[in-house]
Structure 1
Amino acid sequence: MGESPGGVRAATRRAKAARASRAPRGGGNAGRRRPGKATWTISGIAAAAVVTVVAVAAGGQLTGRDRDTPSPDPGGDTPSRSSDDSAPGATPSATPSPIRTVAPIGYDQLMDLQYPLEPDLQLSGAFTTVPGHQAAPGKGKVMTFRVDVEQGLPLDGRLFSDTVFKTLNDERSWGHGGTMSFERVSTGHADIVVTLASPGTTAKWCAKSGLDTTVQNVSCDAASTPRTMINAFRWAQGADTYGPQLMHEYRQMLINHEVGHRLGHNHVGCPRAGAPAPVMMQQTKFLSLNGGPTCRPNPWPFP
């Protein structure tokens, strides 16, 4: 059945005493569990390790780039980005490229060039007169000339016309010493009609004066006609006696030689070895004659 009050009190005291004997001894915090020393040491090592790894990684990105990674080669193919490029939406600062200007090719440069032309080219024989007028710049007797260019030639007719005018009025040409001067006309009478024509058309006009230009593809003064014929193949390609390095000089010789025939001068030979070839020597064909002395190329009557 139940206990008496005294028994209950005695049992209560015995239970308290038993609990007191099992409780740990210590201060007021004895009822709380504190982390042990070992727990804090392990956590601290782990945290330190994490910090160390981060520091090493960061150091590798900074110091490693400076020491081990080569700087971009300014002359290499790897594109580089400016600081402006890294910002989204930023407009890169544009540095204008230097402007490269190319000087226009001039008269002398054009005259130094060879131009492609077939040696057997034959066109229609229709001519166009180069328009315009250039007054005689010198003294003495005035000789008028016209320049005709065969239609369809792939050559610059104005350049040809300018060359005729410049060459004939050079001090070294036939007007040397003020004896004559040459005026270019495009209408009316002309003392000479300087004509640039294909090899086939040149041959036809020269044959009218009994001259065969098909041998070595040369030019002629067709004396029985108004035309002094300049073979376009020779004008474009030159001759072995001058070579490609003397194209300008060869063209001057060609004009002076054929106009010289119109003025009454005949062929001559080389006077002595190493001398400038007379302009009336057939320099397109040779610089020596019948095993005689060899002259140097020369485009002028009065060099």
Structure 2
Amino acid sequence: MADQLIRATAAEGGIRAVGVITTRLTEVARQRHQLSYVATAALGRSMAAGLLLASSMKKEGSRVNIRIKGNGPMKGLLVDAGLDGTVRGYVQNPRVELPPTPQGKLNVGGAIGSEGYVYVIRDVGYGYPYSSTVELVSGEIGDDITHYLVSSEQTPSALLLGVFVGGEGVTAAGGLLIQIMPKAARDEALIELLESRIGPLKGFTPLLQAGKSLTDILHELLGDLGLTIFPDVQLVRFDCRCSFDRVLGALKMLGEDELLDMIEKDNGAEATCEFCGEVYQASRDHLGQLIADLRQEQAEA
């Protein structure tokens, strides 16, 4: 099944639901960053969360950044997701591996740590970005993003995130976000009903592994509550905006002395994009042209 995102409403607009499948893009991230099993799960959950959060934004070009910093051996991660369905990200310690939990699951909480912070920045496409910080709840990503939604956006939310990774790579990944909108926030019976249906679920990836589509999952949870699934299915993908021109621009900012030092000591420069792992090589000729450009700019100033 292709990586995709669908949106829906229920209870006469009192419920907003978004589901996303991110299996392929999580595998792309795993390969690009050579992630361990637990790092794959952590980044995969966070990328799914980023796409789910970005899905509610309105203006073209809007993006969400999620930065998680914890006291565990993974140290932290960063995800950048857009309304356009693109996402990228990286973890600070991609090789960390831990024994599974007593329940046999990947120990994402132990890798991230239970003490630290979640930083969320929403760039709505105009004005100043909106930022918020909350403390980590468990380091398991889903609990922490849910805590952010309730604490910072005052939106009762249920969030399911999952990544299944084995010897053949990522075979299932994605997430589901269900939110109670203000018009239904005081409907205690509705909230209790949703809790009774979502609470028993053992995760998101078991639903995918059972062969269920996003539509199937939403119908099972909300089908009797006036569910309306929007017809537009959005494809999502791992995508990075880095380029060789951007690398040259960054090198130019180092100044003439630093560029001359790179030419003398290294005969060029190498830069690796943190978000996607792409490696760029700048030759001595490239650096020489940057120096020439700097000198010309100084002469014209």
Fold in common (TM above 0.5): no
Q: Normalised by the size of structure 2, how large is the TM-score? A: 0.24
Q: Which has the higher contact order (CA 8 A, sep 6+)?
A: 2
Q: Normalised by the size of structure 1, how large is the TM-score? A: 0.24
Decide which structure has greater strand share: 2
